[in-house]
Amino acid sequence: MKKRFIVIAISLAVFSYANLFSQNFAKVTRANQNQTINLAVNQVLEIQLPERPSNGYSWVEAATLSDKTQKTISKAGEDDFIPDTVIPLPNNNKHFIGQVSTQIIRYIGVSEGPTVLTLELRRPWLKNGEVMDSYTITVVSEGEYTGAYKPQLKAIHKLEKPLTSGSSALPSRWDWRPRCTPIENQNMCGDCWAYASVGTLECNISIHDGVTEDISEEFVTDCYTNNGCSGCNGGYCAHQAWMASYTGANSSGGGAIYESEDPTTCNNTGVTGICGEPYAPHEAIDNYADIGGENSQGIPPVDSIKYHIYNHGPVWIALYAASSAWHSYTGGILAENESYTGGCDHAVDLVGWSDTAVADNSGGYWILRNSWGTSWGMSGYMYITYASDLIGTYADYIDYKGGTPHSLSVSLYASPNSICLGDTTQLEAMAYGDSNYVYSWTSSPPGFSSVIKNPKVAPTATTKYVVSVTCDTSIVSDSITIIVHSKPTLNISPSVNPICKGNSTILTASGAKNYLWSGGYGNTSAVLVKPDSATVYTVTGTDINGCRGEKSDTIYVNPDPAVPTIAQSGDLLTSSAAVGYQWFWNDTLIIWATSQSYTIKHNGSYTVEVTNSFGCKTMSAPYVMSNAGIEKYDFSDYIHIYPNPSTNNIAVECPVDVTIDILNVQGQLISKLQVYGGRTNYFDVSVFPSGVYIVKGKTEKGICLIKFIKE
């Protein structure tokens, strides 16, 4: 049945590529950087860029692309990853892991027009991750795509029967995670093969010896060159380096070299270093070996891999990781068993399994330990079905101190082990060595107790949970601390509240990292709102721990005053009653005309703006005066000077630009000043002798004379 499955996969690959070759592609590469590419309506744009699937970096659209980019061209299907060269190992029928490949990204036109397309080489699951490289082209689309190309739809192929026998000789679930060392991060270097080789020994030392040793990945990357291993450019399982008799990597003998003795730098530089041997070796293994019974793809039976995980700790394996599902994985059970063009490209460790129903009917999933840091997956781990992504290829185990012990022991973990206040987490105790267990749970601070195996808890503060497992007369215990983060306390600060009807206000949220406003107002910290009546606005904020808080605020809307009316009695105009007034003549503000009544000075159009007790304003309809008998003109409300008298400076205000002369009482010109309308103009008169001066202003209304006293 396995052979039949392989044939189906190969057939799908052939069909997919036959479909591609029959299409009209506009192919571009790194050499086309910063060029303009014309895309006809019957063409598919195919961008081919180098990348390395083993380190988790791939080409993705830049986060700064404009909305127009999304309208003129659109991605067509998922990306393909084709290894540049499949490098065979010199002494067997296997090949390198961690090699360079070509990522193929396809676009089609959706409308006519140019698009500046920028792609970034970064880890897609990190929104603000470091950009290692960028690629920009301008695509001129002739319009909506009219060709026949259709991206291949991926589907999960269900196996006719599970890949595991479910033998009672092994438990249905096993998990070495609680005994493993912290997750590492290979970053740009293609030495996943070295990280996986270090992981098996580190975890075995922890399981056997109860200590955590930090073994140098740099040593393996730089010094282990057997089978043609090439550091950051790819390699193969390096378990041989842990044999005391092997001197190919270290002339002093094989065994662990600690991080403190050869610090790892290749993960930051992406470049293989220089081997600094000889080193004094530490822990060594008894033996290592491939897991037998491999099929034509190099994958041993699932039960054989499980046997060696149980009896020899985590095992080294290769698989296919060049898919968008890997780059976007955050949890759950990954199931994808499509065709694989080029085979394996990544190496990891398998640390456990669970026999359970899964989407592809393979019988369960592996617990996979990656080397892409704790930000990826489930704190650096993944659940992946037994039939996915060529998993288990070239599986290799080590024998450290005769194999893993199985006396009564217990390991404890939680998913997740860091929660927000009010959330829950699942505690899970894994007891080893027998089958009849009695569980007893306590906590510190006290307040929690349980006798079930896997209780769900909702601590209100950071809490240490302890489980004791009894089997016959033996008792073992383990503990785990659940960190509880407080939810963020949000605040909303309106620029104005309440507001007058027709006005707007800015709501500014604070107290979190990211924000989302209800009512479709977006995901920024500040939003502009213009309610017609009292309205409640709610913002949800997320802090750096992923915890969410919520805050609401009501913006109140005050009514405008009624439209005022103007009544005339002789030369006096009077507004209907209000709290405040401001008079205008020909739409020009009359300075200091702020009383309910105003004495007419000249013909023209008068309006009054009234204010109510809320500070809201309404303008009257124009009141036009055309009485030819009105000849006098009072400039005291047109040009205003203050303070008057003054000792040092004067302020001059006028609604229009005007030039003024300052004359002494003999009519002699003392100074000529330019006054700008609509603002306050300041002039220094401290040098003027004390006395009386005349300010002469000439406007389109005539000439005005205003007395000014200098003290």
- Structural tokens at position 503: 């006005």
For residue 677, the SS3 value is coil
- Nearest one of 184, 199, 285, 269 to 231, comparing CA atoms: 269
* DSSP E strands, 418-498: 418-420, 425-432, 438-444, 456-457, 463-471, 474-485, 491-494
Decide if 601 contacts 701 (C-beta within 8 A). no
The H or E element spanning position 508 is strand 505-510
343: left (phi over 0), alpha (psi -120 to 50) or beta: left
CA angle in degrees (0–180, nearest 5) for 691-696-701: 150
- Structural tokens at position 248: 């190919």
- Domains of the chain, each with CATH number or no CATH: 22-141 (2.60.40.2020), 173-399 (3.90.70.10), 409-485 (2.60.40.10), 491-558 (2.60.40.10), 566-625 (no CATH), 635-710 (2.60.40.3080)
Q: How far apart are CA 314 and CA 397, in angstroms?
A: 7
Average pLDDT, the chain: 87
**Which residues is 133 bridged to in the sheet?**
121
Q: How far apart are CA 381 and CA 429, in angstroms?
A: 18
- Residue 23 is predicted with a pLDDT of 66
- Residue 28 is predicted with a pLDDT of 96
Using a 10 angstrom Cβ sphere, with 0-12 exposed, 13-18 middle and 19 or more buried, the burial of residue 570 is exposed
What pTM was estimated for this model as a whole? 0.63
- Residue 86 is predicted with a pLDDT of 65
- Residue 6 is predicted with a pLDDT of 31
Decide if 360 contacts 178 (C-beta within 8 A). no
Pairing of strands 491-494, 505-510: antiparallel
User: Which tens digits make up the pLDDT trace of 335-367?
Assistant: 997 666 668 999 999 999 999 999 999 999 999
DSSP label of 95: B
Decide if 389 contacts 336 (C-beta within 8 A). yes
Q: How many CB atoms lie within 10 A of CB 695?
A: 21
- Residue 245 is predicted with a pLDDT of 97
Using a 10 angstrom Cβ sphere, with 0-12 exposed, 13-18 middle and 19 or more buried, the burial of residue 397 is buried
- Residue 524 is predicted with a pLDDT of 87
CA dist list (Å): 16 to 11, 13, 252, 341, 616: 9, 5, 52, 10, 69
- Residue 694 is predicted with a pLDDT of 81
The parts of the chain modelled with pLDDT lower than 70 are 1-23, 64-70, 85-93, 167-168, 338-342, 432-435, 627-638, 699-703
